[in-house]
Chains A and B, each alone.
Chain A
Amino acid sequence: AQSVAQPEDQVNVAEGNPLTVKCTYSVSGNPYLFWYVQYPNRGLQFLLKYITGDNLVKGSYGFEAEFNKSQTSFHLKKPSALVSDSALYFCAVRLADYKLSFGAGTTVTVRA
């Protein structure tokens, strides 16, 4: 079955430090991968996607993600985290018929 996994339930970093949220995938063929962010009591906001092309994808709010085929990973990164980046982050893969399969989510806390 095609899926993504987020191995960390929580990530804690200090403001100004680099932030990494991990995602690995298990997909046959070429994966369509996405990152979304969910703020408390809000919907999911699209951050970025990998479809094809450059392995380094740049997205909203200064986030980027690197697609690594050999490691089957699609980690989300931000060079310098802000307190306002504290939220719940979801990695997702597009399945047949366009529906998304989500990871379990990673709660990011950025302390001042």
Chain B
Amino acid sequence: GEEVAQTPKHLVRGEGQKAKLYCAPIKGHSYVFWYQQVLKNEFKFLISFQNENVFDETGMPKERFSAKCLPNSPCSLEIQATKLEDSAVYFCASSQLGGNEAFFGQGTRLTVV
């Protein structure tokens, strides 16, 4: 596709429940990034992929967060046992191999209650 597609747009989970977010990158883009936007507009990098391989996972809280980008499937970000502080907008972005600008999806707003 010509744009990064994220689903769902909104997700509400009770504390302790699992949340799974999906991202279809732009066709032909080799890099996928996940960011978390919290209060005061702060962006936090979570993880990136080069094709299906984890490229940089330095931002991931590994005890509860996991992510995958499998061939011929949307990428996913999964949060096990959600906490109130996980409430945020999660953005996925993709960029071309060797390209410099990343294109962002519309985001998934996760609310943990």
Taking Cβ atoms with an 8 Å cutoff, the residues of A that contact B are 32, 34, 36, 42-46, 49, 51, 88, 90, 94, 97-102, 104-105
Contacts and interface: CB of A to CB of B under 8 A. Distances in A.
Binding site of B, secondary structure by majority: helix, strand, loop or mixed? strand
B41 A44 contact: no
B41 A88 contact: yes
Interface of B: 4, 6, 31, 33, 35, 40-43, 45, 48, 55-56, 59, 91, 93, 95, 100-107
A20 to B, nearest CB: 19
Contact of B103 (A46, A90, A97, A99): A46
A99 B48 contact: yes
B100 A51 contact: yes
Binding site of A, secondary structure by majority: helix, strand, loop or mixed? strand
B108 to A, nearest CB: 10
A43 B7 CA distance: 13
Contacts of A90: 41, 43
